[in-house]
Every structure is written in C-alpha cells, then in structure tokens.
C-alpha cells in the first residue's frame, strides 16, 4: 500500500516536470504501455491472496485512472503553450497596408441588364424574374405555339422530361404575370434562357429581356415609340432603325427591328408585336377591352453591338483580362 502511494507521488512529479509532448508520450508508455508499470503490478497480483488481490487491484486501477487523467491534462497544457509560442513567433503587423488592391468590376452582361432596367423604370415598368425550369404549357401552349412547331424538338430545346424543360424564352413570364395581375400593367422580364445552339454568335445559355404592356387603347405606334427611344437611349445616339414584318405565334402583327451597323449592314436586334388575342384569351383578359404589346431582345447581342465584341463566347470564359476592360463602364 505504501509503495503504491509513493508511486503516485513519483508519477505526479514526473508528469509535472515533463516539458514536451515527446517526454509525456514516453511517460505514457512507461506507466500505461503493454509492458508498463501498472500492467506489471497487475501481473504480480497472482502471488497474493484473494482478499489482497481485490484490495490492491482497486487501488492500482484508481491510480491508473488518475494517471491517465493527469497525462491528458498535461498534454492540453503543453499544446496551449506550444500554440502560444507559435503565435508569438509567427505574428504579423496587421496595420501594414497590403501590397496591392484589386477592385472587382461588374460583368458587361449585368451592366447591360441594369442599363435597360433603368430606362424602363422611368416609363413605369416593373422588373420581375421568373422560373428557369418551365412546363410545356407556359413555354409553348399558352403562347399559341403549334404542337408541330420545330422549337419543341429536342435539337432546339433542352427537355428534362415529357413536360418540363429549360425555358427557351422569357415570354413564359408574360403568361404567368397576366394570370396573376390585372390590367393595366407594364412589366419587363430579364433572365436566362436556354437553346441547343453553340457558335460565335450563339451559346446554349444566354440572357433575354421581355417587355409587356397591357392597357386600353394600346397600339403599334406606342410600341414603336418605346423601341425608338429605348434604342436611342441605349446607344446614346440616334441610330438608323427599321421595322421589318415578321411572324411570331404569340403576336400579331409582328415585326423584327434591325439596326444599321458601322459596316452599313442591317442586323436584327429584337422582335416585337401586338399580343395575339388567343394569348390574352388563355389568361382570361378580354381582348375587346384591353390590348397588349410585347417585345424581346437578347442582352448579349446588345452588349456586343455597344462594345464591338465579335464573339459571344468571351462573355462566359471567365478571362479576367476581358472582364477588366469594363471596370469603368
């Protein structure tokens, strides 16, 4: 019994004097290892009587537990000390200025979207975002698209299943907003759209902005006035435009708007028209009381024209040398 009490005094002293993790690990092996002191004590108990075995095994196990706890506490203490010394040796003066400051820049696509939004806000339009995953009804059926229209084919559209798809146009929001709101209404719908196409002027994902007005006595002349003023505002000059008759299933009459480029060639920049009476009927708006006009444009094309960019793919290559050119636009 006396020997065991002296053992605990020795153990406590050795652990307290350990000044490194390595020394502490050696003490752990010395006392708690397979051939350590505590295991030797337990093996020697075979020479004692049953009562002595019982008494001494309790004492040995108690000291063993205290030793384990003592080593654990000492290890925490040593680790804190090591961390403190490391922090002191590796500390830096955080008051020193950085070597350089890199300011980010807004992406030209986002800049164009914001410019377009700001113009239409002044005309009383509201901006609403929509779902990128749509159903067949809102993307095609409600927009008066025939069942055999080529846009429904998989080589043009990304279908997720028989009913769901990645929307091919922001016109889907025309239907959703006309079902929710009551006339009069003025909305624009910016967002991503998806089509199965990829070359220097097309990407599988691109951005569109759709515009919609539903009011009494709205006609094509109002639509032309809005488009003329928008284009002049966007390019900050009077550019040569032409309205060319076209066909869209969801508008009648319909037109495409072309702009005269610097190379004296016509380039189509947006489509527009008066919303088809059947589309208004699909959303329970009386076409005898209200008329509606709509327009849609590709954001990438508008940006390319404004800044003289020849390849649409550069917008999505994450080349910082390209993005930095628009830091101060």
- Is residue 299 within 8 A of residue 112, CB to CB? The reply is yes
Query: What pLDDT is recorded for position 2?
Result: 47
Query: What pLDDT is recorded for position 202?
Result: 73
Query: What pLDDT is recorded for position 211?
Result: 95
d(CA 292, CA 294): 7
Residues of the chain with pLDDT under 70: 1-5, 96, 98, 101-102, 104, 199-201, 327-329
Report which DSSP code applies to 92: -
d(CA 126, CA 188): 6
Please give the biggest Cα pair distance in the chain.
Answer: 114
Q: What pLDDT, in 10s, does the model give residues 174-186?
A: 999 999 999 999 9
- Which superfamily does 108-326 belong to? Bira Bifunctional Protein; Domain 2 (3.30.930.10)
Backbone angles phi, psi at 58, to 5 degrees: -65, -45
Within a 10 A sphere around the Cβ of 40, how many other Cβ atoms?
9
Please report which helix (H) or strand (E) contains residue 87, including its range: helix 50-90
- Domain residue extents for the chain: 2-90, 108-326
- Residue appearing with tokens 């990829």: 198
The alpha carbons of the chain give a radius of gyration, in whole angstroms, of 39
Cβ-Cβ contacts under 8 Å for 50 (sequence gap 6 or more): none
Q: What pLDDT, in 10s, does the model give residues 220-239?
A: 999 999 999 999 999 988 88
Residue 46 class from Cβ within 10 Å (0-12 exposed, 13-18 middle, 19+ buried)?
A: exposed
Query: What pLDDT is recorded for position 204?
Result: 87
Query: What pLDDT is recorded for position 243?
Result: 95
Alpha carbon 49 to its chain's center: 75
Query: What pLDDT is recorded for position 327?
Result: 66
Query: What pLDDT is recorded for position 274?
Result: 95
3-state SS assignment for residue 128: coil
Strands (E) located in 106-204: 126-127, 133-135, 164-166, 185-194
pTM of the model: 0.65
Helix axes 299-307, 108-121, angle to 10 degrees: 100
Query: What pLDDT is recorded for position 186?
Result: 95
Report which DSSP code applies to 154: T
- Residue appearing with tokens 């075979």: 46
Cβ-Cβ contacts under 8 Å for 257 (sequence gap 6 or more): 227, 231, 241, 242, 243, 244, 268, 269, 270, 271, 272
Cα(first)–Cα(last) distance of the chain, in Å?
A: 87
3-state SS assignment for residue 216: coil
């Amino acid at each position: 019994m006396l020997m065991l009490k002296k053992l605990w005094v020795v153990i406590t002293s050795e652990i307290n004097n350990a000044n490194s993790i390595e020394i502490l690990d050696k003490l752990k092996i010395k006392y708690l290892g397979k051939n350590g002191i505590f295991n030797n004590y337990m093996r020697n108990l075979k020479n004692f009587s049953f009562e002595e075995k019982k008494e001494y095994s309790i004492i040995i196990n108690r000291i063993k537990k205290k030793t384990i706890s003592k080593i654990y506490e000492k290890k925490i203490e040593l680790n804190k000390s090591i961390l403190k010394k490391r922090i002191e040796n590796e500390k830096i003066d955080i008051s020193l200025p950085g070597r350089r400051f890199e300011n980010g820049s807004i992406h030209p696509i986002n800049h164009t979207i914001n410019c377009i939004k700001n113009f239409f806000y002044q005309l009383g339009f509201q901006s609403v975002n929509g779902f990128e995953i749509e159903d067949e009804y809102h993307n095609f059926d409600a927009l008066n698209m025939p069942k055999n229209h080529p846009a429904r084919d998989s080589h043009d559209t990304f279908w997720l299943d028989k009913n769901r798809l990645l929307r091919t146009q922001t016109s889907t929001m025309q239907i959703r907003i006309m079902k929710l709101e009551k006339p009069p209404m003025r909305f624009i719908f910016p967002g991503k759209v998806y089509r199965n196409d990829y070359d220097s002027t097309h990407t599988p994902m691109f951005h569109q902005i759709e515009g919609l007005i539903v009011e009494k006595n709205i006609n094509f002349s109002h639509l032309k006035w809005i488009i003329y003023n928008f284009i002049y505002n966007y390019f900050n000059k009077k550019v040569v435009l032409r309205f060319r008759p076209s066909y869209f299933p969801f508008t009648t009459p319909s037109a495409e708007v072309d702009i005269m480029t610097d190379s004296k060639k016509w380039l189509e920049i947006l489509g527009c028209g008066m919303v088809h009476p059947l589309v208004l009927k699909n959303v329970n708006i009386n076409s005898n009381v209200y008329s509606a006009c709509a327009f849609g444009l590709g954001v990438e094309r508008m940006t390319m024209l404004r800044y003289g960019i020849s390849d649409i793919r550069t917008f999505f290559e994450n080349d910082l040398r390209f993005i930095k050119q628009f830091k101060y636009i």
